[in-house]
Amino acid sequence: MSIRKLQGRVALVTGASRGIGAAVAKLYAREGAHVILMARSQSGLEEIDDAIRTEGGVATLMPFDLSKIEDLEALGPTIYERFGKLDIFVSNAGLLGEMTPVAHSKIKDWNGTYITNVLSNVQMIRTLEPLLKASDAGRAIVVGSGMGVDPHAFGGQYGVSKAAVMFLFKTWAEETRQTNLRVNIIRPGAVDTDMLHQVFPGGYQGVDLRTPDQVAPLFVELASSGCSRHGEIVTPADYAL
């Protein structure tokens, strides 16, 4: 029987009801973690929970809308009261926002995207850092995007927010270099998700399209206690996935 890489760990995965988040949550459970599933959709979380339990894994549902950033202050204390610890934090949830020229965009749409993609992460870092630092091998991973590095026409809202959250996590990594916490960014490339189809409604024409299940193992490697990477932007190519 193979050794499970995340045995006994407690992991929080946001955006866990579909796409990359769902694939990561299921793989974490297979690797022995107790997974806290967070997303807006109760029914979507229940579906992932059923899949995890069918395979003998353990999960806890936490339906939550990340735009309610004031309520996020209670996240760390809630997790501590329920589990006594947190070892892994995967920030995967994100809004695409409106695909429109910057000159035609509306400030309210920018606000919505920025609150969910960036400010919610500021709040989660604030409330979760004490738990992650208390772990013998705390791990934090955020899903970045090439759109936050290279401009994509009409994708300003998402791209700017992703550039900001990637910089946020790199800053956090600099602040935690002398701790047991490892903070990294995954730039997964083109992944076959609902969001990708919204960005490319006519169909994605690239040649490197991956499925969520194909990129999920990278999240296991960066969440493992043996991971030494810190403050890096990691791609599937780094692990030949």
> Each residue of 13-46: pLDDT tens digit?
999 998 999 999 999 999 999 999 999 888 889 9
Cα Dmax for the chain? 58
Residue 107: which H helix or E strand, with range?
A: helix 107-114
Residue 218 CA to residue 138 CA, distance in Å, equals: 16
Q: What's the pLDDT at 191?
A: 61
Asked if residues 140 and 170 have their Cβ atoms less than 8 Å apart, the reply is no
CATH code for the domain in which residue 104 is found: 3.40.50.720
Asked if residue 21 belongs to a domain, the reply is yes
Residue 12 CA to residue 104 CA, distance in Å, equals: 37
Per-residue pLDDT of the chain (241 residues; tens, 9 = 90+): 568 899 999 999 999 998 999 999 999 999 999 999 999 888 889 999 999 999 999 999 999 999 999 999 999 999 999 999 999 999 999 888 788 999 999 999 999 999 999 999 999 999 999 999 999 999 999 999 877 788 888 888 989 999 999 999 999 999 999 999 999 999 886 665 666 555 666 565 565 777 888 999 999 999 999 999 999 999 887 765 4
Asked if residue 5 belongs to a domain, the reply is no
Q: What's the pLDDT at 146?
A: 79
Asked if residue 2 belongs to a domain, the reply is no
Please give the residue range of the domain that contains residue 144: 10-239
Count of domains in the chain? 1
Buried b (16+ CB within 10 A) or exposed e, 92-118: bbbbbbbbeeeeebeeeebebbbbbbb
Asked if residue 194 belongs to a domain, the reply is yes
Active site residues: 158
Predicted TM-score (pTM) of this structure: 0.92
Residue 7 CA to residue 158 CA, distance in Å, equals: 35
